[in-house]
């Protein structure tokens, strides 16, 4: 996971905790792993995607368009959609 949102360690800790719960609830480890992945994959993928996009905007934006980025980002940062996507790891409540 790219370090742009600072969520990698938090996601790893949640994954480890939820995986431990899933495995401790059954003798069928392969089923527990499938259950865990089904429950957690979307949140992990979304966090990774948002971290990657944050890195692209922050470090790989075309130099000639930096002033445009600087004018647009304050407005985008206020949108509910962006806030929800940036907070996906913070707001995640594991199902298991």
How many domains does the chain contain in total? Answer: 1
The pTM (predicted TM-score) of the whole model is: 0.80
Q: What pLDDT does residue 7 have?
A: 84
Rounded Cα distance between 14 and 42, Å, is: 13
- Across the chain, which has 96 residues, the per-10-residue mean pLDDT values are 81 94 96 96 92 90 94 94 88 91
Q: Is residue 47 part of a domain?
A: yes
Total H helices, total E strands in the chain:
5, 0
Q: What pLDDT does residue 93 have?
A: 92
Q: What's the domain range around 64?
A: 3-91
Rounded Cα distance between 6 and 50, Å, is: 11
Q: Is residue 96 part of a domain?
A: no
Q: What pLDDT does residue 30 have?
A: 97
């Amino acid at each position: 996971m790219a370090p742009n949102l600072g969520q990698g360690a938090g996601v790893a800790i949640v994954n480890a905790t939820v995986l431990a719960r899933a495995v401790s609830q059954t003798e069928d480890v392969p089923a527990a792993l499938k259950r865990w992945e089904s429950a957690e994959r979307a949140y992990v993928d979304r966090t990774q995607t948002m971290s990657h996009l944050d890195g692209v905007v922050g470090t790989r934006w075309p130099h000639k368009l930096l002033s445009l980025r600087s004018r647009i980002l304050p407005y985008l940062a206020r949108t509910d959609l962006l806030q929800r996507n940036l907070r996906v790891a913070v707001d995640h409540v594991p199902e298991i």
